[in-house]
C-alpha cells in the first residue's frame, strides 16, 4: 500500500494541490500498479475533500475504487461521513495501539476505546465502507503494554475488520524486534491479514519491512521517495527490489515506472531525491572508477541484478580524474566515435587533468573535449609555441598583472604587462614579447566569446572561442576548461601555433 498522498504529505513542507494528488494517484494505480493507495486523512480541509473526491471519481471510472483508502478517526462517524461523501469505499481507521496513547491522548480505557471502535466499524459498514484498522504506536505497545495490544485484538477480531495495520509509528524497532513481534501476533492470529507500516528514524524502515515480510506480514506500507512524517517511510522502489530480488516475493509493481513516479513526486513535493538513493537517485547507475568500466567492458563484471534497464534507466560511465581508458572508450562508443589509441590516450589525459582540478565533466561535455583535443592540437612535440609558465593576478583597486614565459621556435622569452582584465594583461605581455623580442606584431583581437557547452553545466566547463584578424586572415580557435581565463589562454596558444605553422 502506497501512502505517499497521506503519510508522504506529512513530510514537513509538503502539500499537494488536488490536481497533483490526482496525477500521482493515477500514475500509482494505472502505471506503477501498486495494489492500494492511501490518499488522505479525513476531515483535514476542503481542498483535501476535493482531491479525494477527484481521485475516487477517477478510481470509480477505472474500476479501482476498492484500491483507494482514506485514513479516518474514531470520531463518532464524522470521518466515515466525510469519506463516503467523497465517494470513498475504504476507511483506514486510526485507533490506538499502545496503552499510553489510549490513556493519555484519548483519555479512555481499552474497553471504552474498543467499544468506540466497534461502533465506528459498524457505522462504516452500514455506509458500505470496508474497514482496515491502524493500531497506532503498536511498536511501543508491544514493548510497553503487550497486554493492551492483545486486549485490543481480542475485542476487535470478530467485527469484520479486513486488515490490521501495525505501525512502527515512531520508527523505534529493529529487524529482530519486528520479527519477534510479528511472529507473536501471527501465532495468536494466524488467519489475520497484518500490514506493516515502517518509519525510518533509525534508518531501518527498509530492513524492518523485509523482516516483517519474512515473519509473515501480508502487506507493507511504502511511499514514493520514502517521504513521510519526520524521517519518512520505507521507499517504494527499495522495498520493491528487495521483495523481488532478495525474498523472491512477487508483487504487482511495474518496475520500469518507478523512476517516473519518483521524478513526478520529487517535482510536486519539492523534496529532492538524494543522488545516491537506490534505484531512483541520479548517480546510482553511474560507474566512476576506471577499473569498473574496464570490468564491465570485458564481461559486465561490476553489474548486479539491479540493472538500470529494469527501471527504464541507463548505465553511465562518469568522466573525471578516476576515468581510465576503458571508461572513456565506453563513452566514445556511446557517441559512435571510433578513435585511434593515441587519440583516446590524449582525450583521457585531458579529462584526467580537468578532473584533477575538480571540474565536473559530463557526458554532454565529451564531444567538445574531443574536438578541443583533436581538432586544434598537433602532437605536442610539433608545437612551435609553448607556454612554459604564467601567472595572472586579480586584486581590487589594482590593474591585473600577467607574467609569462613562452618558447617560440625553441627560444625562451619572458614578458610582463598589466591590463584591463587577466586575459587582456596576458595578451599585452605576449604582444610585448613578439614586438620587443621578435620584431613582429600579433593580429587584432576581433572577438572573444565565452559560452557553456550545450548540455553542460554552469559549474563545469566553459568554452572560449577567440577570433583574431591580421591584414588578410582570420584565426579562430576554441578551448575548453573549467576556468574561463585558462580556456582563453589555451585558445590563444593554439592560435599562435596556427600563425607559426602558416608562416
Ligand atoms: C498514523 C498517523 O500518522 S496519524 C496522522 C493523522 N492525520 C492527521 O493528523 C492529518 C492532519 N490533521 C488534521 O488536520 C487535524 O489534526 C484533524 C482535522 C484530524 C483534527 O483536528 P482537531 O479536531 O483540530 O484536533 P487536533 O488537531 O488538536 O487533534 C487532537 C485531537 O484528536 C484526538 N485524537 C487523536 N487520535 C485520535 C484518533 N485515533 N481518533 C480520534 N481522535 C483522535 C485527540 O484526542 C485530540 O482530541 P481532544 O482535542 O478532544 O483532546
Q: What is the pLDDT of residues 121-150, one digit of tens each?
A: 999 999 999 999 999 999 999 999 999 999
Judge whether residue 265 has pLDDT over 90: yes
Domain count, the chain: 3
CB 479 within 8 A of CB 453: no
For ligand 1, the distance from its centroid to the CA atom of residue 225, given in whole angstroms, is: 26
The residues pairing with 409 across neighbouring beta strands, listed in sequence order, are none
Query: 369 and 401 share a domain?
Result: no
Judge whether residue 379 has pLDDT over 70: no
For ligand 1, the distance from its centroid to the CA atom of residue 160, given in whole angstroms, is: 24
The residues pairing with 491 across neighbouring beta strands, listed in sequence order, are none
Judge whether residue 181 has pLDDT over 70: yes
For ligand 1, the distance from its centroid to the CA atom of residue 16, given in whole angstroms, is: 20
In eight-state DSSP terms, residue 443 is: P
CA distance 474 to 456: 28
Query: 20 and 81 share a domain?
Result: yes
CB 141 within 8 A of CB 181: no
Query: 225 and 305 share a domain?
Result: no
Q: Of 69, 120, 136, 229, which is the active-site residue?
A: 136
In this structure, is residue 297 part of a structural domain?
A: yes
Query: 101 and 182 share a domain?
Result: yes
Residue 47: count other Cβ atoms within 10 Å of its Cβ. 14
Q: Which atom of ligand 1 is nearest to the CA of 7?
A: 3
CA distance 277 to 263: 13
Work out whether strand 385-392 and strand 401-408 pair parallel, antiparallel, or are unpaired: antiparallel
DSSP 263-278: HHHHHHH--PPPTTST
The residues pairing with 70 across neighbouring beta strands, listed in sequence order, are 91
Whole-model pTM?
0.79
pLDDT (average), residues 82-87:
98
Place of cell 586572415: 473
- Smallest CA separation from ligand 1 atom 10, residue: 41
pLDDT (average), residues 311-329:
83
pLDDT tens readout for residues 20-46? 999 999 999 999 999 999 999 999 999
Judge whether residue 458 has pLDDT over 70: no
Query: 79 and 207 share a domain?
Result: yes
CB 301 within 8 A of CB 295: yes
Length of the chain: 503
For ligand 1, the distance from its centroid to the CA atom of residue 94, given in whole angstroms, is: 10
pLDDT tens readout for residues 400-444? 999 999 999 999 999 999 999 999 999 999 999 999 999 999 999
Label residue 457 by pLDDT band (50, 70, 90): low
Domain finish residue from 269, 297, 321: 269
Domain finish residue from 269, 300, 315: 269
CA distance 430 to 390: 11
Query: 370 and 495 share a domain?
Result: no
Residues lining ligand 1, judged by CB closer than 6 Å? 7, 41, 43-44, 71, 73-75, 94-95, 105-106, 134, 136, 229
- Smallest CA separation from ligand 1 atom 45, residue: 106
Active site residue 6: yes
- pLDDT confidence of residue 376: 55
- Smallest CA separation from ligand 1 atom 6, residue: 41
Domain hosting residue 15, numbered range = 8-269
Q: How far is CA 175 from CA 208, 213, 232, 299, 495, in A?
A: 5, 11, 17, 36, 66
Domain finish residue from 347, 374, 401: 374
Label residue 455 by pLDDT band (50, 70, 90): low
Judge whether residue 201 has pLDDT over 90: yes
Query: 256 and 166 share a domain?
Result: yes
In this structure, is residue 3 part of a structural domain?
A: no
Query: 213 and 113 share a domain?
Result: yes
More confident: 376 or 10: 10
pLDDT tens readout for residues 110-126? 999 999 999 999 999 99
DSSP 451-485: EPPTT--TTS-EEEEEEEE-SS-EEEEEEEESSHH
C-alpha cell at 171: 520508527
- pLDDT confidence of residue 459: 59
C-alpha cell at 257: 515506472
Which secondary structure element, helix H or strand E, spans residue 495, and what is its range?
Answer: helix 484-501
- pLDDT confidence of residue 359: 65
Helix H, strand E, coil C: the string for 164-184 is EEEECCCCCCCHHHHHHHHHH
3-state helix, strand, coil split of the chain in percent (to 5) is 45, 20, 35
- pLDDT confidence of residue 204: 98
Query: 420 and 308 share a domain?
Result: no
Which residues are CB-contacts of 393 (< 8 A; sequence separation ≥ 6)?
Answer: 400, 401, 402, 422
Judge whether residue 380 has pLDDT over 70: no
Query: 369 and 383 share a domain?
Result: no
More confident: 27 or 335: 27
In 3-state terms, what secondary structure has residue 23? Answer: helix
Label residue 99 by pLDDT band (50, 70, 90): very high
- Smallest CA separation from ligand 1 atom 3, residue: 7
Q: Which atom of ligand 1 is nearest to the CA of 136?
A: 1
In this structure, is residue 279 part of a structural domain?
A: no
Active site residue 154: no
Query: 316 and 435 share a domain?
Result: no
The preferred substitution site among 73, 74, 101 for testing ligand 1, maximizing ligand atoms within 8 Å of CB, is 73
In this structure, is residue 202 part of a structural domain?
A: yes
In this structure, is residue 2 part of a structural domain?
A: no
The preferred substitution site among 44, 114, 229 for testing ligand 1, maximizing ligand atoms within 8 Å of CB, is 44
CA distance 34 to 251: 8
CA distance 366 to 331: 8
In this structure, is residue 300 part of a structural domain?
A: yes
For ligand 1, the distance from its centroid to the CA atom of residue 75, given in whole angstroms, is: 9
H helical segments located in 62-174? 78-86, 99-100, 110-126, 138-144, 146-156
In this structure, is residue 281 part of a structural domain?
A: no
For ligand 1, the distance from its centroid to the CA atom of residue 35, given in whole angstroms, is: 27
CATH number at residue 465: 3.30.160.270
The residues pairing with 199 across neighbouring beta strands, listed in sequence order, are none
- Smallest CA separation from ligand 1 atom 7, residue: 41
In this structure, is residue 1 part of a structural domain?
A: no
CB 402 within 8 A of CB 417: yes
Mean pLDDT of the chain: 92
Which secondary structure element, helix H or strand E, spans residue 136, and what is its range?
Answer: strand 130-136
Query: 348 and 401 share a domain?
Result: no
| Residue from 185, 145, 143, 193 nearest 168 by CA | 143
Amino acid at each position: 500500500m502506497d501512502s505517499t498522498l497521506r503519510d508522504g504529505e506529512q513530510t514537513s513542507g509538503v502539500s499537494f494541490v488536488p490536481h497533483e494528488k490526482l496525477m500521482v494517484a493515477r500514475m500509482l494505480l494505472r502505471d506503477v500498479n501498486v495494489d492500494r493507495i492511501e490518499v488522505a486523512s479525513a476531515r483535514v480541509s476542503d481542498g483535501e475533500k476535493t482531491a479525494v473526491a477527484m481521485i475516487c471519481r477517477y478510481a470509480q471510472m477505472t474500476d479501482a475504487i476498492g484500491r483507494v483508502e482514506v485514513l479516518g478517526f474514531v470520531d463518532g462517524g464524522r470521518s466515515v461521513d466525510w469519506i463516503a461523501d467523497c465517494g470513498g469505499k475504504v476507511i483506514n481507521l486510526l485507533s490506538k495501539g499502545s496503552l499510553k496513547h489510549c490513556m493519555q491522548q484519548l483519555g479512555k480505557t481499552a474497553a471504552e476505546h474498543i467499544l468506540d471502535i466497534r461502533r465506528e466499524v459498524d457505522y462504516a459498514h452500514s455506509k458500505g465502507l470496508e474497514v482496515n484498522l491502524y493500531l497506532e504506536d503498536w511498536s511501543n505497545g508491544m514493548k510497553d503494554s503487550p497486554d493492551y495490544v492483545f486486549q485490543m485484538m481480542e475485542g476487535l477480531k470478530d467485527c469484520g475488520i479486513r486488515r490490521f495495520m501495525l505501525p512502527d509509528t515512531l520508527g523505534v524497532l529493529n529487524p529482530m524486534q519486528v520479527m519477534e513481534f510479528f511472529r507473536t501476533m501471527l501465532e495468536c492470529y494466524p488467519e489475520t491479514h497484518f500490514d506493516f507500516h515502517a518509519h525510518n528514524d533509525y534508518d531501518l524502515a527498509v530492513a524492518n519491512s523485509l523482516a516483517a515480510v519474512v515473519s509473515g506480514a501480508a502487506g507493507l506500507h511504502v511511499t514514493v521517495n520514502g517521504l513521510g512524517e519526520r524521517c519518512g517511510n520505507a521507499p517504494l522502489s527499495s522495498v520493491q527490489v528487495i521483495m523481488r530480488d532478495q525474498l523472491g516475493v512477487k508483487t504487482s509493481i511495474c518496475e520500469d515506472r518507478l523512476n517516473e513516479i519518483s521524478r513526478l513526486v520529487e517535482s510536486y513535493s519539492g523534496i529532492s531525491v538524494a543522488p545516491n538513493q537506490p534505484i531512483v537517485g541520479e548517480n546510482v547507475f553511474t560507474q566512476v572508477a576506471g577499473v569498473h568500466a574496464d570490468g564491465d567492458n570485458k564481461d559486465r563484471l561490476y553489474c548486479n541484478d539491479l540493472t538500470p534497464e529494469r527501471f527504464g534507466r541507463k548505465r553511465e560511465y562518469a568522466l573525471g580524474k578516476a576515468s581510465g581508458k576503458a571508461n572513456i572508450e565506453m563513452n566514445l562508443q556511446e557517441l559512435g566515435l571510433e578513435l585511434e589509441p593515441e587519440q583516446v590516450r590524449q582525450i583521457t589525459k585531458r579529462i584526467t587533468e580537468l578532473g584533477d582540478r575538480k571540474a565536473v565533466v559530463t557526458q554532454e561535455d565529451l564531444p567538445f573535449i574531443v574536438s578541443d583535443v583533436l581538432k586544434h592540437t598537433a602532437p605536442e612535440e610539433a608545437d612551435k609555441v609553448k607556454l612554459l609558465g604564467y601567472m595572472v593576478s586579480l586584486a581590487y583597486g589594482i590593474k591585473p598583472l600577467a607574467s609569462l614565459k613562452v618558447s617560440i621556435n625553441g627560444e625562451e622569452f619572458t614578458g610582463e604587462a598589466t591590463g584591463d582584465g587577466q586575459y587582456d594583461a596576458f595578451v599585452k605581455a605576449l604582444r610585448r614579447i613578439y614586438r620587443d623580442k621578435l620584431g613582429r606584431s600579433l593580429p587584432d583581437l576581433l572577438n572573444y566569446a565565452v559560452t557553456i557547452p550545450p548540455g553542460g553545466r554552469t559549474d563545469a566547463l566553459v568554452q572560449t572561442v577567440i577570433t583574431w584578424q591580421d591584414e588578410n586572415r582570420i584565426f579562430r580557435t576554441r578551448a575548453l576548461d573549467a576556468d574561463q581565463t585558462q580556456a582563453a589562454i589555451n585558445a590563444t596558444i593554439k592560435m599562435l601555433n596556427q600563425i607559426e605553422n602558416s608562416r
